[in-house]
């Protein structure tokens, strides 16, 4: 298991890859974000996005799963207090294959929660052409392998 001590600034961890289908774009949008450009190819082409494109909240949720499968499921994560910033840089279109990485920006023990540390990550998701489609920063709480050593 990856513990707090394993997340050193500069280290990076690969996300799993995911191919986005038209069906899942429409299914997510129907439930959570029924704006026309997320519901049909025609409306997508008529918008500034240029085609049937995933809701930004769908891309964010897909990123979560790609992170889980890529490395988070092998870590001592205790969840996250939020998102510091998230930019949707390019449209995510039906047929795109997404990949990416999480890179450690900072890591520090949490004084208020002994045995836990806060690791701040920069996440990047790119498409099959290497274009960054989403970039974000968020902190994740991680249990320590050896709490006594960090307290010392």
Whole-angstrom distance between the N-terminal and C-terminal Cα of the chain? 23
Helix (H, G, I), strand (E, B) or coil at 66: helix
Q: Is there a contact between 21 and 94 (Cβ–Cβ < 8 Å)?
A: yes
Site residues for its own copies, 32-51, by CB under 8 A, read 32-35, 37, 47-49
CB of 21 to its own copies, least distance (A): 13
Contact window for its own copies (CB under 8 A) among 5-13, 27-35, 101-109, 118-126: 27-35
CB of 118 to its own copies, least distance (A): 14
Bridging pattern class, strands 97-109 and 116-126? antiparallel
- Which tokens in the block code for residue 93? 């279109």
How many residues form the binding site for its own copies (CB under 8 A)?
Answer: 35
Site residues for its own copies, 68-127, by CB under 8 A, read 68, 72-73, 77-88
Of 107 and 140, the one with the shorter C-beta distance to its own copies is 140
Q: How far apart are CA 128 and CA 125, in angstroms?
A: 10
Q: How far apart are CA 79 and CA 113, in angstroms?
A: 13
Of 10 and 99, the one with the shorter C-beta distance to its own copies is 99
Could you say which DSSP state residue 6 is in?
G
Summarize as ranges the residues that interact with its own copies (CB under 8 A).
Answer: 28, 31-35, 37, 47-49, 55-58, 60-62, 64-65, 68, 72-73, 77-88, 136
């Amino acid at each position: 298991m990856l513990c707090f001590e394993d997340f050193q600034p500069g280290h990076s961890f690969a996300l799993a890859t995911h191919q986005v289908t038209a069906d899942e774009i429409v299914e997510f949008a129907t439930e959570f974000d029924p704006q026309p450009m997320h519901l049909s190819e025609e409306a997508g082409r008529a918008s500034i996005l240029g085609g049937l494109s995933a809701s930004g909240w769908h891309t964010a949720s897909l990123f979560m799963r790609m992170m889980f499968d890529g490395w988070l499921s092998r870590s001592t994560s205790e969840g996250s207090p939020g998102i510091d910033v998230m930019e949707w840089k390019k449209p995510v279109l039906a047929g795109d294959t997404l990949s990416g990485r999480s890179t450690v920006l900072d890591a520090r023990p949490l004084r208020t929660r002994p045995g836990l540390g806060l690791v701040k990550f920069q996440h990047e998701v790119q498409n099959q052409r290497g274009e960054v489609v989403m970039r974000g920063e968020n902190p994740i709480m991680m249990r320590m392998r050896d709490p006594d050593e960090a307290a010392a």
